[in-house]
């Protein structure tokens, strides 16, 4: 096997391996998105239960519980945004099995073109030994030249496909990772802002204020 054939075979195997790994990444990303959406659904259930509990309370604690439910609800919406954005960012990964298959077919076509040229070149050489200026020798030489041109065209095409495979994959991964990172940063920044306000509200709550608010209900016990 020639050096060129070895390199083409290596690249074909590389494309297959990358495609399998990206398929796994896509599968795990989908599961991650599912878990985010499940967490959001659980948060909505928690919001409903907190709002239900708030109706049994009064005074400052009722206000804090109601605000906490509202903040969790807001975080839940951010969670949905993260899930949706991440789901969109990994969609391009679904195309790589097709891309790898197409590239392998192109590499195989080039290998056939190389083999065809080698066969016709050998046949032309044999005909020249018999007689360099015979019609059969000229025909064999023309076929060898045509096969050489086809080999060059296939090689140029495959090289371009290989370069495209590398460049487009890197661009895809760069875009996907940037989008995933940005949306996560936005989630945590907004989440910190939302929860910081809630933390201050909870910290400022005093038991005395709550007791004062229920005095109205306990005065009749005197």
| Contacts of residue 134, Cβ cutoff 8 Å, sequence gap at least 6 | 127
How confident is the model at residue 155, as a pLDDT?
A: 93
Is 82 a domain residue?
Answer: yes
Is 219 a domain residue?
Answer: no
Is 25 a domain residue?
Answer: yes
* pLDDT surpasses 60 at 1: no
CA distances for 160 relative to 3, 12, 22, 104, 111, angstroms: 18, 14, 22, 13, 16
How confident is the model at residue 218, as a pLDDT?
A: 55
Tell me the pLDDT tens digit for each residue of 166-189. Answer: 999 899 899 888 988 888 888 888
* pLDDT surpasses 60 at 26: yes
Assign residue 80 the CATH number of its domain: 1.20.1270.60
Is 217 a domain residue?
Answer: no
Tell me the pLDDT tens digit for each residue of 57-110. Answer: 887 888 889 999 999 999 888 888 888 888 888 899 999 899 999 999 999 999
Is 164 a domain residue?
Answer: yes
Q: What domain range is 24 assigned to?
A: 3-207
CA distances for 57 relative to 94, 213, 219, angstroms: 51, 10, 18
Q: Specify the pTM.
A: 0.74
Tally the domains of the chain: 1
How confident is the model at residue 27, as a pLDDT?
A: 93
Quote the tokens at residue 112: 């056939």
* pLDDT surpasses 90 at 24: yes
Is 215 a domain residue?
Answer: no
**pLDDT band at 8, cuts 50/70/90?**
confident
């Amino acid at each position: 096997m020639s050096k060129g054939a070895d390199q083409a075979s290596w690249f074909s195997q590389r494309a297959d391996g990358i495609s399998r790994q990206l398929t796994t990444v896509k599968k795990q990303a989908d599961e991650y998105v599912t878990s985010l959406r499940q967490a959001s659904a659980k948060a909505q259930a928690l919001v409903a239960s907190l709002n239900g509990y708030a109706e049994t309370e009064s005074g400052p604690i009722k206000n804090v519980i109601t605000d906490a439910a509202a903040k969790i609800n807001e975080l839940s919406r951010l969670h949905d945004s993260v899930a949706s954005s991440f789901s969109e960012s990994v969609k391009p990964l679904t195309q790589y099995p097709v891309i790898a298959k197409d590239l392998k077919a192109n590499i195989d076509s080039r290998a056939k073109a190389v083999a065809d040229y080698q066969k016709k070149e050998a046949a032309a050489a044999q005909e020249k030994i018999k007689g360099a200026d015979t019609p059969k020798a000229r025909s064999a030489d023309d076929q060898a030249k045509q096969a050489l041109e086809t080999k060059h065209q296939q090689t140029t095409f495959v090289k371009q496909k290989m370069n495209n495979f590398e460049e487009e994959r890197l661009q895809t991964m760069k875009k996907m990772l940037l989008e995933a990172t940005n949306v996560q940063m936005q989630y945590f920044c907004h989440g910190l802002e939302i929860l910081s306000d809630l933390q201050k509200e909870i910290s400022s709550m005093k038991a005395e204020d709550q007791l004062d608010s229920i005095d109205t209900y306990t005065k009749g016990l005197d």
